[in-house]
Structure 1
Amino acid sequence: IMSWLADVTVNKPHGENPITVAPSSKLPALSLRGTPPPGSRQRLQELGPAGFAAALREQKALAVTETTFRDAHQSLLATRVRTRDLATVAPYVARLTPQLLSVEAWGGATYDVALRFLGEDPWERLDALRDALPNVAIQMLLRGRNTVGYTPYPTRVTDAFVREAAASGVDIFRIFDALNDVSQMRPAIDAVLGTGTSVAEVALCYTGDLLDPAEDLYTLDYYLRLADQIVGAGAHILAIKDMAGLLRPGAATRLVTALRERFDVPVHVHTHDTAGGQLATLLAASAAGADAVDAAAAPMAGTTSQPSLSALVAALAHTERDTGLSLPAVADLEPYWEAMRHLYRPFESGLPGPTGRVYTHEIPGGQLSNLRQQAIALGLADDFELIEDMYAAANDILGRVPKVTPSSKVVGDLALHLVGSGASTEEFKDNPAKFDIPDSVVG
């Protein structure tokens, strides 16, 4: 009975087990004998981090990072995909898509969820994927001083973590800070630079709409000043991290153009497809000169995940920005991901299709699925639209911060608390002391 209680507590009663097909039966008919073709990892080892970044800036083809191994399932399936299901397909990815810039496979919530929910060692996952992907650079998401946690750690912790991650196979570290505070990213940047072997890709977190004439905070000048600090801190690559999918095509054109005019480092665009229009944003960024973009395998793409990889490859085929990826090869991997997603159906985010409401509530793609699960746990599932509205209101109360871990959790916790207590934002602002404010909000 204790096992049953533990299972219900952790996994919750998700209903009947889905009828599934073994994902492994959907793998491409491909021999895994011999080593995969050389790829971005060999290029990094040959050129070094600075040379690797310079070559990326000079190449005409649009480089692509594949996010299915990390952000896609974090955004769609609450990060529940197990190591064995990722390691099974990784050798096929290495052989069919060696032209990838990188595979984002570690960091973010994968570390936490592996330990707390999957009963796995995240370092063993990294080892397994490194063995299976010897030719493609592995990328991770690093939360600045928070590393893969939710609170700032001493510099010595950041140094030790980055050293071990690099030694275990992380080639590219995408570093960000939830408040775009470069001083909070510097220890991580310095640690990555100190490895001498790994690339420091440093992100500016995008929010708002820089094309809006009424925008007085997150303007083009704001992002250019931030980018200047990031490049000055030693970044090899400059990333635009659009957590909620708010970067519209016109804004992407203006921002990417301005960044490339002012800085010599490559520009890498990351977004989420919550509203359904972000392929247009990636194509606009590409036309403006972006050096790399993120995409996910089609069955794991769309909504809170990234735009479809096969759609991107097809859109740019036979153009000067052709990705170099084979569309049939990319498509051959899709049946596996489709079967795997069906296997994890109990952990689906609950968002059946795109929603334009994201332009109002601005909830990050990686948070929306988890916020819905929190609402269900609190008995607020029927009020989710109200929670979305309250999220926007809570964001205003907290000063319109960029919303990404951990700041997004602060906004979400406050929104859930206010909806759960039946309070209005006016009541909260009039007398916040009378509320049992969540610990994350208090700080």
Structure 2
Amino acid sequence: MGCFARVETNGGAFEQVNLLYGENPNKAVRQFTKFFNEAGIQTHMLDRGLNGLRMYPVPADVRKLMYKVKKAQGVDITRIFCGLNEVRNIIPSIKYALAAGMIPQATLCITFSPVHTVEYYAAIANQLIEAGAPEICLKDMAGIGRPGMLGQLTRTIKEKHPEVIIQYHGHSGPGLSMASILEVCENGADIIDVAMEPLSWGKVHSDVISVQAMLKDKGFQVPEINMKAYMKARSMTQEFIDDFLGYFMDATNKHMSSLLLTCGLPGGMMGSMMADLKGVHAGINMILRSKNKPKLTLDDLLVMLFEEVEYVWPKLGYPPLVTPFSQYVKNVALMNIMSQVKEEPRWSMIDNNTWDMILGKSGKLPGALAPEIIELAKEKGLQFTDEDPQTNFPDQLDAYRAEMKENGWESGEDDEELFELAMHDRQYRDYKSGVAKKRFEEELQRAKDAALASKGFSEEEVRKFKRSKAEPITALEKGRVIWEIDVESASLAPSVGKVYNPEETFCYISTPWGTHDKMLANFKGRIIEVCAKQGSIVNKGDVLAYIERTDLAS
């Protein structure tokens, strides 16, 4: 396309998705970065500071190893952020990145509150630059940063540190992103994060075509876009969405809403938030019905949640609403709504991770806690702390090395497999056991079935549609069907979503003359329907099951 100086190639969401899909993230990162490295395009990753690539804190030795691994895998730049803008969580990663030969891009998590002023952010930027960061990212993760303030902040940093590169990252959800991009560019920003169709706009970034046109018209030096390549990349992305990504995307991700200005929640978590709301919607209405109160629509519940976030946020010390603190605040707000529906007091349900944030274990909160929160902590006998957050999480690499040795697992090139286990231990174990892939295939099939059902198809129509995209596996002989999955469950038929490889045993046919004829799958695919029960008698040519081929797609 000719217009990108940098491409984001990996980070927390990337690698966890790889593992949940049943794929090796290290192989994926090396393959992905290789082509950008060869083309002279810088590769970019996300580092959540104290949390590394995950949602909860990481020991220091694992954080150090991450930089050694990522540099070896071909990653150039790391965007280091802390949801609290806590410099004690960011500065160690700056040091680790420099030691490994990577470019540390220190990050300011932008939000809009009485405490998040230009002076507040500029003071943090000064500390991060002094610690060795050659770049600053303005991470406007919810897109609620006001354009004027962002322009003023950009100018303030550039006037004091003209050599520092400033990159702006702003989401489109509330509708301010294009104005914000123009403001930061006119005040000295160097690089702008953009997206491209079919994933741009909505809760994501502005589209590269629109941004290029706006900046070009204002006289900025911006590269031309190879539209033939753009359309090819656009088409490939749509194919990926149609294949399986789209089944896991909430439709509202494509929507923009000015309501997001009031709650300040980031676009990246809106999909999970809608899933949470749908999950509690029926339960809330059941409680209301038992109290002879009118039921709530999903929109009613959404507005209630936004308003409760707006109420909760300042009382929790104004943590910038970015991972994981956006989830903590949203969870408290949702639990408060549940409590109020049950006619119980607010703050009845606060999870341990949120308490850790409140107590200072993740770092210093930007604002003051409400007296009622402090009093609640005292009632529970909880202790506040101002210690360096990293001291709460001792080194663990030796324990993970021992686990790999015990399991007979290789630590991998540049210790990358050791790193993956240490960073995402639960997901990595599921990946190694094969559980992750099996679970993903089953979830995908359920999502596809639900999508068809939601379009008003009858069960029979759904079955016919699925069969039209699959191939039947038919009995080679007359006899009794014997399914075999493993020793413990040999009496069960395979589950929908189970994947077979070409040379894998599909089933046995026990013939009347005493033989057990093995049937092979003959091609790679996933089960979409089982037609023959364990022990049932079939004739030659009867359909045993339908398999959707996956070898053709690849």
- Provide the TM-score with structure 2 as the length reference: 0.57
Residue 401 of structure 2: aligned partner? none
Alignment partner, residue 148 of structure 2: 250
1:296 aligns with 2:195: yes
In the alignment, the residues of structure 2 paired with residue 348 and residue 275 of structure 1 have an alpha-carbon distance, to the nearest angstrom, of 19
1:385 to 303, 309, 323: 303
Do structure 1's residue 195 and structure 2's residue 96 form an aligned pair? no
Q: Check whether the contact 1:313–1:322 (CA below 8 A) recurs between aligned residues.
A: no
2:340 and 2:267 mapped to 1: Cα distance?
26
Aligned partner (choices 212, 216, 221) of residue 322 of structure 1: 221
- 1:359-374 to 2 correspondences below 5 Å: 359-374=261-276
Q: Does 1:356 align with 2:258?
A: yes
For residue 347 of structure 1, the aligned residue among 243, 248, 271 is: 248
For the residue of structure 2 that corresponds to 1:379, the secondary structure is helix
**What residue in structure 2 maps to residue 100 of structure 1?**
4
- Is structure 2 residue 312 aligned with structure 1 residue 394? yes
Partners of 1:393 and 1:425 within 8 A in 2: no
User: Which stretches of structure 1, 4 residues or longer, exceed 4 Å deviation after superposition?
Assistant: 423-426
* Larger fraction in strand: 2
Residue-by-residue CA offset, 1:229-265 (whole Å, 9 max, x unaligned):
1111110101101110012322222111111111131
Measured at CA, do residues 118 and 293 of structure 1 come closer, stay the same or move farther in structure 2, by a change above 3 Å? same
Q: CA 1:385–1:305 in 2, change beyond 3 Å: closer, same or farther?
A: same
The one of 274, 289, 313 equivalent to 2:173 is: 274
**1:327–1:246: structure 2 CA closer, same or farther, 3 Å change rule?**
farther
Distance 1:249 1:207 in 2: 12
In the alignment, the residues of structure 2 paired with residue 336 and residue 276 of structure 1 have an alpha-carbon distance, to the nearest angstrom, of 27
1:105-147 Cα deviation digits (max 9, x unpaired): 21132222322x3122221220120233232211001001211
Larger Rg: 2
Q: What residue in structure 2 maps to residue 82 of structure 1?
A: none
User: How far 1:424 moved relative to its partner?
Assistant: 9.5
Cα separation, partners in 2 of 1:318 and 1:220, compared to 1, 3 Å: closer
Q: Which residue, 206, 230, 235 being the options, matches 1:307?
A: 206
Distance in 1 (CA, whole Å) between partners of 2:259 and 2:90 is: 31
Tell me the secondary structure at the aligned position of residue 427 of structure 1: coil
Give the aligned partner of residue 147 of structure 1. Answer: 52
Counterpart code for 2:236: Y
For the pair 1:176 / 2:81, whether they are aligned, the reply is yes
SS at the partner of 1:163?
helix
| Alignment check: 8 A CA contact 2:142 2:264 kept | yes
Q: Provide the C-alpha distance between the structure 2 equivalents of 1:426 and 1:436, rounded to a whole number of angstroms.
A: 10
Between 1 and 2, higher relative CO (CA 8 Å, sep ≥ 6) is seen in 1
Q: Which moved more, 1:254-263 or 1:237-246?
A: 254-263
Partner residue, 1:441? 354
Q: 1:261 aligns with which of 159, 183, 204?
A: 159
Larger helix percent? 1
Contact 2:305 2:337 in 1 (8 A): yes
Deviations 1:343-378 (CA, angstroms, capped at 9, x unpaired): 433222332521001110000111111111122233
- Contact 1:239-1:267 within 8 A present in 2 as well: yes
Summarize deviations over 1:168-223 as a string: whole Å, max 9, x none.
11111000011001111122111100012x211010111116xxxxx3x1111101
Q: 1:327 to 1:394 in 2, by over 3 A?
A: farther
Name the structure 2 match of 1:125: 28
Given residue 368 of structure 1, which amino acid in structure 2 is its aligned partner? M
* Unaligned segments of structure 1, at least 5 residues: 1-95, 210-214
The equivalent of 2:66 in structure 1 is 161
Secondary structure of the 1:422 match is helix
Q: Counterparts of 1:330 and 1:231 in 2: how far apart (Å)?
A: 37
How far is 1:419 from its partner? 1.9
Contact 1:206 1:247 in 2 (8 A): yes
Q: Is residue 2:139 matched to residue 1:241?
A: yes
What amino acid is aligned across from residue 439 of structure 1 in structure 2? Answer: N
> How many residues of Structure 1 are paired with residues of Structure 2 in the alignment?
334
Distance in 1 of aligned mates of 2:87 and 2:179: 30
